Amino acid sequence: DTEVTQTPKHLVMGMTNKKSLKCEQHMGHRAMYWYKQKAKKPPELMFVYSYEKLSINESVPSRFSPECPNSSLLNLHLHALQPEDSALYLCASSHVLANPLGNAYNEQFFGPGTRLTVL
Amino acid sequence: AQSVTQLDSHVSVSEGTPVLLRCNYSSSYSPSLFWYVQHPNKGLQLLLKYTSAATLVKGINGFEAEFKKSETSFHLTKPSAHMSDAAEYFCARLSGTYKYIFGTGTRLKVLA
């Protein structure tokens, strides 16, 4: 299995709703990522989990709450979002390896994304 | 600071003609560089990567890229464009273990 799956594909929510995005991979990757992508822009990193521990939080507002229940699953819990949070949310995963020079080189595998609309 | 610059925001080619998408990176002793493609409302798909091995890298769907240290470039090419190549293309480099630095993207349009 060489793919990252995300559910749901589309999500419409009000500003008072609570919802969750889900991401799953079975490639044995130990790093998992959440990105936010606005139209005509590159993805922006939000969170990184490495070995199920939060490694990077790119100063994301607390209305976004990530969770990594196990090495294959990644969730993003959403609460009290704003209309400007509407975007494509991408999940990705990768190995955590280095080449002989000690440099990381692992490509990230992306899921198809969840298109989120906040009303 | 490490950076990636995609020199063209839009490129238009006719079907069957060569494709050149340009990417320059800020100088680094050993960058890991990637090209991704994104079709509308889809995730990013890896086309190819450079990781200090061969300087000419072959990828999927007939794409290839050449790493030129003297020019700090990693341009993406394809000999003959197909209609299905129309998409957004992102050049990226790794900064540390996890962080991608993305270019701003190049939208490729293929004319019939």
Predicted pLDDT of residue B97 = 83
Residue A99 and residue B51: Cβ atoms within 8 Å?
Answer: yes
Phi/psi for A83 (5° steps) reads -55, -30
Predicted pLDDT of residue A97 = 74
Q: What mean pLDDT is predicted for residues B105-111?
A: 97
**Is B105 in CB contact (< 8 Å) with chain A?**
yes
Q: How far apart are CA B24 and CA A24, in angstroms?
A: 33
| Torsion sign across C-alpha atoms A94, A97, A102, A106 | negative
Residue A105 and residue B45: Cβ atoms within 8 Å?
Answer: no
CA-nearest residue to B45 within chain A is A110
Predicted pLDDT of residue A2 = 66
Residues of B in contact with A48 (CB under 8 A): 98-99
Closest approach of chain B CAs to the CA of A41, in angstroms?
Answer: 6
- Which of A10, A107, A116 is most worth mutating to test chain B (most B CB atoms within 10 A of its CB)? A107
CA-nearest residue to B10 within chain A is A40
Is the predicted pLDDT of residue A100 greater than 70, yes or no? no
The type of residue at A12 is: V
Largest Cα span, chain A: 50
Residues of B in contact with A66 (CB under 8 A): none
Q: Give residue-wise pLDDT tens across range A1-33.
A: 669 999 999 999 998 899 999 999 999 999 999
Q: Give residue-wise pLDDT tens across range A61-93.
A: 999 999 999 999 999 999 999 999 999 999 999
Q: Where are the beta strands (DSSP E) in B7-81?
A: 10-14, 19-21, 23-25, 33-38, 44-50, 56-58, 64-68, 73-78
